[in-house]
Amino acid sequence: MCIIFFKFDPRPVSKNAYRLILAANRDEFYHRPSKLADFWGSNNEVLSADPVWKTSRPAGLSAQQPCQSGWVTRAPFSEWTHAWAGGFCSTEKGDVICYYGNRGEPEPVVLAPGTYGLSNALLETPWRKLCFGKQLFLEAVERSQALPKDVLIAQLLHVLNNDEAQLPDPAIEDQGREYVQPFLSKYAAVCVRCPGYGTRTNTVILVDADGHVTFTERSMLDKDPACWETSTHEFKLQS
């Protein structure tokens, strides 16, 4: 039940404002192999964590599939219970952000400037955990211009680690059916923490008015929910 919140403002009026503020959780089985975010190859053009980022075209992917069907990476995109992909492009004509999923519109949707939330359903589906988390995200974003960057990142990480269950929520219960029922009170929180499964990575991405990107990843180590490591990568967007 991955979750992502982002604010897109391609033409910020203030030098202290951000073109993109993104905060996301990756939920996964603790035993599944995973690598920390790092650049691929020697040219530093692709930064890969759970999303894959190219310095000019960041993108993300999330998916949910019933457990008995196997790893989501082995299933065709169209067969996942819900999958989405998003891209942020910086071009000479301005920034563009788009959304595409295997449910809903058949073609990628170019998004208008604004604030969005997404979990394992269509964009802006009003699950209670999504609405609750989006409100916390908005409160942090509203203070963003007045906060030092490291303080803003800390506040966004705090949002991502909120484990307050937002119940009752028939929409989550209906989508998950018997798979979710035993852990409903855990799945219904922004930060999921179940035996053997839950939030393994927090990601915060800031793109400032000059195109400088700060990519912060907080990752679980050794399958231990009490052991985490935080790393930061910084680079300039190519247009």
**Cα(first)–Cα(last) distance of the chain, in Å?**
33
CATH topology of domain 3-236: Penicillin V Acylase; Chain A (3.60.60)
Better pLDDT: 63 or 94: 94
SS (H, E, C) 103-158: CCCCCCEECCCEEEEECCCCCCCCCHHHHHHHHHHHHHHHCHHHCCHHHHHHHHHH
**Residue 205: other Cβ atoms inside 10 A:** 24
Per-residue pLDDT at 127 exceeds 50: yes
At 38-89, the pLDDT tens digits run: 887 777 777 775 444 444 444 444 433 332 223 222 233 343 445 666 778 8
Q: What is the pLDDT confidence band of residue 15, given thresholds at 50, 70 and 90?
A: confident
Provide the pLDDT confidence category of residue 171 given band limits of 50, 70 and 90: confident
CA 73/CA 79 separation, integer angstroms: 11
Could you tell me the residue ranges of all domains in the chain?
3-236
Q: How far apart are CA 180 and CA 15, in angstroms?
A: 45
